Amino acid sequence: MASGYAVAVGFLNIDPSYTWHNMVNYTSPEDALMGLIKAVVYGAMIGLISCYKGMHCREGAEGVGRATTEAVVYSSITILVSNFFLTLSLNRLLHT
């Protein structure tokens, strides 16, 4: 939220009071909690996938490079797919 405020005020020249007013009125504590939960889940997924790929890579620079690429691709796909289900679940739990 802070970076969104900084971009709106600093780069887009939107009035600071207008930006703050809209942030307060249109953002709920549930939205902030959802963002924190997602950050923890995605961080854990990236860490687990990266550790697995790193521990099971082949020797040499080529093996490490391939494992790194696979970790990035698998993490991106996992986050893309899990975002749908996590958002659906959290919306049902938090916005009841």
Q: Is the pLDDT of residue 12 over 90?
A: yes
First to last CA, the chain: 23
Q: Is the pLDDT of residue 95 over 90?
A: no
Average pLDDT over residues 37-47: 97
Q: Is the pLDDT of residue 96 over 70?
A: no
Question: DSSP per residue over 50-72, as a string?
Answer: HHHHHHTPPSHHHHHHHHHHHHH
pLDDT tens digits for 51-72?
999 999 999 999 999 999 999 9
Average pLDDT over residues 11-17: 94
Cα–Cα distance list, 33 to 17, 22, 27, 62, 87 (Å):
24, 18, 11, 41, 12
Q: Is the pLDDT of residue 36 over 80?
A: yes
